[in-house]
Structure 1
């Protein structure tokens, strides 16, 4: 803020004044490529996310314009059938995955640490890694266009259209792998945000006092953690179907198409709220700022978001009303679908009453936030139609769904555009052109309704088909004109931002008269370390302290994480070790992942693009694997100092380190991944017939190998516990012995598994004359893929344990440094617990 005092969501904010120049420790200049390739600072990563997502907006927007041009006349104008299917499919994939969520998380990266009083996210290098995986997954998708053809089975990738029989191109497999890589990016980012928001809030900033945008991001990443784990399971299975020959989703498989629908929509419906929640948080902040009053019913608003986040996982089956699911279950999911609209009613009325009780300032951010509210109301009302089983039978697969979907999803985009205008002065230090902002809003709002509202009128047009009755021509042409007007509005926005960055008026610390959150209490743009001291809300207002000792005194002798903190003279005088802000290894890991997945996409053979052969893809796979292991090893071994907060609000993870919290969160996601695999096995087996399933399995598939592996894994878990006990007692030899025993037992598990698989591969009987291989039948597919996923977890654990043995030989993990052993133990114990579920399922039942 400038000279006046502003209230924050946590109380009163003190005047910011002039902040001292930040120490640009080990940071290249902003104008250098090195800065952007090596940065781990949350503000830089946020800018990278925003810029990259805007590129994908233009990419997906061009595809949208091709769709609308194709619809100018019935039967199409420009594209053949395959080209149109590729255009529709990749437009949906790009907009849903590579634009909407990353655009929101650009703001989240930049703003959330500032709002909660943190110097950075908990794991800065993982934050950078998340971005590079996101970027290179998009690059992989673009490469897929040049690999015969990209995926053409619709953005929902329904089975059996997603298997090679119907989409045989290498580019289609590459698109699936690109989405899998994007999902890995989301998981890494989600763990980071959950750990940061729960454990790195300024003292006094309790959960209920958190700004609404931070609340929306917290709930979004929790939904992402579980929803994307289900999608990851679906994509791993689909990749196996395409690359390894498994038969989960084959057209003749038992329940394959329905299984994909369950897995995809268990992710897909929470994804609607994952996309909309950040926009809702931005809208709430904007409404408060430009009405000059606190949000009406703020706690009820937060409670409503919590309800929606939980309920979002209980409505997925309304996307499956046209399947053979019985009427009772359909009725239940119709009720949950209608029920989830009720918390949204509360949120909508809270925003409306805030406007009524405040004094509105019609600046560009507010115009877009208000426009988003109007569009979302229309989208929500039309969605209720689809929630009714009877109406869904009539409307499903028509342009009614297309229109409703865009009113909701692009309605969220509208709120985020308000967000980029709102935070543009903070991010750049420049004011945008208000006149051009309002011009863009008019073009955007008119163009949006012109392109999507006619789709409700011509709802009988079949979805994803470019033929329609001639009487619909005027409406479709109006929609095409609207699409070009909508697209042009984004060019106005980009010109506004570009011109303002170089010639715009300098922005004040807080250019908005009634901005209330902590990011407005620092200069525009903020310094590298964010704050002039340690932020605190202990006295009901934002204040800064020179050292942790000062903060402890202000808090009446507070303790950090349950223990008394003792500070030496160097710490008290501000000479603590500097945090690092650069690392090349996240970028290198992203490159390695790209090379590996390019190679994997072509391993199955088929029609290779010109200049490419099977040996080229094999070379990419080998090089990518080696490079990935190298970069991960270098990143792990790199000396990197991340942000620390001796004093912070940490509910509900008091007394738990950031690393342990992050490990717990990651393992929660892994539980959903394995749960989806086990659920898929049970679903397919029930569809096939629980007892007749045994006819698909050779008699040579006996219990003993699984029983031996059970004993090996349980013993290895005990060895990890012994290593941890030895570390706590300061015994280096004990640590090494425990880890070596774990590795040997893990290798024994893998060797026994390899012998078992080799035996089953070469079974020769009347029922299985060619052996029992991964593609023999659906029983072999589920067995090899599920236990193979578990085996991959064992291999990862063994690689980590081997690295830890090397470190233990150099004296690590003793003298109070046993935490990494505990974190590894959590992972290894989960691997063992999962096997206790797999053993009875695949060897006894």
Structure 2
């Protein structure tokens, strides 16, 4: 499927892979989540109208509303709306026709959408997440997550799995954007000369690559606690501190991940509406790079109240204050640009200026929290809530300005200027009325609706501000609705001093973006007509395909698709990303309810160890576990069968969809002539694989780091190697190292176009992979026969989960290897272009290297 249906067709939005369509989907979906998250905020602000609560919500409902509001706004609104802007604008600003991997871009969106749907389904599964958006341990373990004592926690588990699916979406998008920006910039457009919004997004996705990988690792460990009853965060052996380290290694870079795209929008708006180039542009870029690097060096300032020693706290206090200095430079650059320019107070500029004002207030109040002594006093109070929102909603303010700024380009219509300014007034007044009183009533504990009667006036003012603030967004939607129906048509460039490439083409842009090949070779944007250049030529091979390279048979189809100029028509539609996203959604829904199935089949072993090895209660109470083993309630319920069926059915549908995704002939637009520094000699797909592996290094690093942290905490000598037979681990080491050799042999066979040799090499790699899994299965079943399950103690959880994550990677590699073997056998794939074999080899070698690290950790030390 390559033909793209018209915009008014629902089918268009189910199958599109075009970056502008995906951008619109992200923007519109994020705004829906903004409304849902805002509605929750209005509900719990109404609860806070009177001291002691109005009785509108119960304690559990209040906690769910506050927690889910935080999760939605931080994850399902702020990052995705920025991703929507980036999807639409980054290819236009750098001169590309699409992202490097259009189908993966679509898959990223569908993971995002279905993860949000799953989050709201969790409300109807006994109650959604109620432990705060920071998900602190030990409140994140099953025994503390029920909405009421003894009730199931399927809803809480489902919310955590939804967040995991969202992080997978982020990972796909991050790899895609990094590859695109580094490999698909127009001729003459060096990194230093990229538009500032694209610069801000490049640094954002670099931070995302590592920060969200740490969060993914933390969530994987937590989900195993919920579903499989492991004990990462259920013990008193440093589990709370472990979660804090993992979460805030993600959590503090997330502040800049959220704010950087907004900062990029502010830079673009200030340049356009001040009528001059941004003052200190190069220093601003350097300052952003410094912040991106430093963001990973300050996470422990969120942990000043933990048992970390004072010397370390002092060090992190210094890094926290230090990271504010590059922001000082950026703030003064924006102010000086206004002073030197001729300001026009349009709606986009008003929101950008408002964002600057709010950010200054948020930054100043944040410096208070950077001091250890003051943080002891302010931590967990409304001071933190107010500071956090002044920073984060400063970003929202700039993002709203971006909606107005690029609305003419996206819609082809102008908005109503007076209504836009009225929106800004209501927005700015409502926000400050909502959050500034929180500084005055800062002693109120966060996430608690009981507060002193003397503070009631400030809370009532904040509640009034919340409703004014919420009303302002209705003005936004009313303005855009008016624009679509009555707004005048927008010119190509409605702004006099705009500087970036998207304003050089019609509003809205055509499907393929450009009338020719964009080039900055002369120092300014020009369109070159390369009559003999195929826009979809790949690096050193036949036509490029999204996620692979064309085979001999596909090259025939490629030749047939060429027009008179020799260029391939790029594809813009595929149904398989949506189906993969849906099947993953179904599988994860089923996984959310697997806990009780696990309890049912392991009930005897659970009873034997309840209360003896620090095992926390599972998602059902200990009494119900005992009841299920005494014969009073031994049968699985219909609900259990439904969840089990969804899990198995989702896996089946996913495998079918992935198989068809791999078989589909899809020609992704690439660029034969482009700026690619510093990756000139690395192909596009290969670079994408390297970025993915970099993210996976952080995932394994966090999981292995968790093992080391908890073992050191418990006393290194108190842990004994779980596997009984060292020779089994040594045998598996030899097996995997041998499989790496057979992969290399397969690459040699592909380079020689030796079909039988390639099939034999891939087959040998697969057989060795199965041999590895067979030895691992023999080890595990032997441990189970001895009664040594993963919930019998912390050391057992660490062993089974860490080696199990590696085994999952082996299984994924076997699936890919089996698919490649099928392709070689059926159509002789990879004989004319061996690079997919090389990419598979990179992944397989990585999996082998991880095992070389795990073997001594678990079998020898």
Deviations 1:755-808 (A, max 9, x none): 001111222xxxxxxx21110101000100000000000000001101111111
| Alignment partner of 1:591 is 2:604 | no
| Alignment partner of 1:172 is 2:172 | no
Alignment partner, residue 628 of structure 2: none
Alignment partner, residue 803 of structure 1: 819
SS at match of 1:465: coil
Alignment of 1:234-633 (within 5 A): 234-250=218-234, 252-547=235-530, 573-605=564-596, 613-633=639-659
- 1:729 is displaced (CA, Å) by 1.1
- 1:575 is displaced (CA, Å) by 3.9
Kindly indicate whether the alpha-carbon contact (under 8 Å) linking 1:25 and 1:578 is maintained by their aligned counterparts in 2: no
| Alignment partner of 1:60 is 2:60 | no
- 1:693 is displaced (CA, Å) by 1.5
Deviations 1:525-547 (A, max 9, x none): 00000000000000011000111
SS at match of 2:78: helix
- 1:641 is displaced (CA, Å) by 0.5
Alignment partner, residue 182 of structure 1: 166
Alignment partner, residue 162 of structure 1: 140
SS at match of 2:775: helix
Alignment partner, residue 689 of structure 1: 715
1:702 equivalent among 710, 722, 725 = 725
Aligned residues: 803
SS at match of 2:525: strand
Flag the 1:41–1:755 CA change in 2: closer, same or farther, 3 A: same
Question: How far apart are the structure 2 equivalents of 1:543 and 1:563?
Answer: 28
Alignment partner, residue 555 of structure 1: none
2:27 equivalent among 33, 45, 50 = 50
Question: How far apart are the structure 1 equivalents of 2:436 and 2:337?
Answer: 28
TM-score (normalised: structure 2): 0.91
Question: How far apart are the structure 2 equivalents of 1:726 and 1:791?
Answer: 27
Alignment partner, residue 693 of structure 2: 667
Flag the 1:486–1:318 CA change in 2: closer, same or farther, 3 A: same
Kindly indicate whether the alpha-carbon contact (under 8 Å) linking 1:703 and 1:843 is maintained by their aligned counterparts in 2: yes
2:672 equivalent among 646, 649, 664 = 646
Which has the higher mean CA deviation after the structures are superposed, 270-279 or 650-659? 650-659
Alignment partner, residue 803 of structure 2: 787
TM-score (normalised: structure 1): 0.93
Alignment of 1:188-199 (within 5 A): 188-199=172-183
Alignment partner, residue 603 of structure 2: none
- 1:626 is displaced (CA, Å) by 0.3
Kindly indicate whether the alpha-carbon contact (under 8 Å) linking 2:27 and 2:84 is maintained by their aligned counterparts in 1: yes
- 1:573 is displaced (CA, Å) by 4.8
SS at match of 1:691: helix
Alignment of 1:120-135 (within 5 A): 120-135=98-113
| Alignment partner of 1:227 is 2:222 | no
Question: How far apart are the structure 2 equivalents of 1:74 and 1:240?
Answer: 39
Question: How far apart are the structure 2 equivalents of 1:469 and 1:569?
Answer: 76
- 1:551 is displaced (CA, Å) by 12
SS at match of 1:324: coil
Alignment partner, residue 97 of structure 2: 119
Alignment partner, residue 53 of structure 2: 76
- 1:75 is displaced (CA, Å) by 1.1
Kindly indicate whether the alpha-carbon contact (under 8 Å) linking 2:532 and 2:565 is maintained by their aligned counterparts in 1: no
- 1:277 is displaced (CA, Å) by 0.3
- 1:702 is displaced (CA, Å) by 2.7
- 1:568 is displaced (CA, Å) by 11
SS at match of 1:613: helix
| Alignment partner of 1:732 is 2:755 | yes
Alignment partner, residue 19 of structure 1: none
Question: How far apart are the structure 1 equivalents of 2:761 and 2:447?
Answer: 58
SS at match of 1:119: coil
- 1:476 is displaced (CA, Å) by 0.4
Flag the 1:495–1:369 CA change in 2: closer, same or farther, 3 A: same
| Alignment partner of 1:830 is 2:846 | yes
Question: How far apart are the structure 2 equivalents of 1:163 and 1:774?
Answer: 16
Question: How far apart are the structure 2 equivalents of 1:762 and 1:385?
Answer: 57
Question: How far apart are the structure 1 equivalents of 2:223 and 2:512?
Answer: 42
SS at match of 2:657: helix
SS at match of 1:525: coil
Flag the 1:639–1:568 CA change in 2: closer, same or farther, 3 A: closer
Question: How far apart are the structure 1 equivalents of 2:453 and 2:464?
Answer: 18
Question: How far apart are the structure 1 equivalents of 2:404 and 2:542?
Answer: 45
| Alignment partner of 1:746 is 2:769 | yes
Flag the 1:570–1:46 CA change in 2: closer, same or farther, 3 A: closer
1:39 equivalent among 16, 20, 25 = 16
Alignment partner, residue 816 of structure 1: 832
Question: How far apart are the structure 2 equivalents of 1:560 and 1:594?
Answer: 33
Question: How far apart are the structure 1 equivalents of 2:562 and 2:145?
Answer: 62
- 1:564 is displaced (CA, Å) by 14
Flag the 1:387–1:446 CA change in 2: closer, same or farther, 3 A: same
Deviations 1:587-622 (A, max 9, x none): 1111101110110001112669x9961111001101
- 1:829 is displaced (CA, Å) by 0.3
Consecutive unaligned residues of structure 2, counting only runs of 5 or more, are: 147-152, 544-557, 597-618, 622-635
Alignment partner, residue 138 of structure 1: 116
Question: How far apart are the structure 2 equivalents of 1:538 and 1:560?
Answer: 21
Question: How far apart are the structure 1 equivalents of 2:850 and 2:706?
Answer: 15
Question: How far apart are the structure 1 equivalents of 2:340 and 2:538?
Answer: 42
- 1:549 is displaced (CA, Å) by 5.0
Kindly indicate whether the alpha-carbon contact (under 8 Å) linking 1:249 and 1:256 is maintained by their aligned counterparts in 2: yes
Deviations 1:496-553 (A, max 9, x none): 001101110100000000010000000000000000000000001100011165899x
Alignment partner, residue 202 of structure 2: 218
Flag the 1:245–1:551 CA change in 2: closer, same or farther, 3 A: closer
Kindly indicate whether the alpha-carbon contact (under 8 Å) linking 1:599 and 1:621 is maintained by their aligned counterparts in 2: yes
Kindly indicate whether the alpha-carbon contact (under 8 Å) linking 1:533 and 1:544 is maintained by their aligned counterparts in 2: yes
Question: How far apart are the structure 2 equivalents of 1:414 and 1:657?
Answer: 39
Flag the 1:151–1:440 CA change in 2: closer, same or farther, 3 A: same
- 1:574 is displaced (CA, Å) by 2.5
SS at match of 1:810: helix
Kindly indicate whether the alpha-carbon contact (under 8 Å) linking 1:548 and 1:647 is maintained by their aligned counterparts in 2: no
Kindly indicate whether the alpha-carbon contact (under 8 Å) linking 2:348 and 2:401 is maintained by their aligned counterparts in 1: yes
Question: How far apart are the structure 2 equivalents of 1:131 and 1:28?
Answer: 19
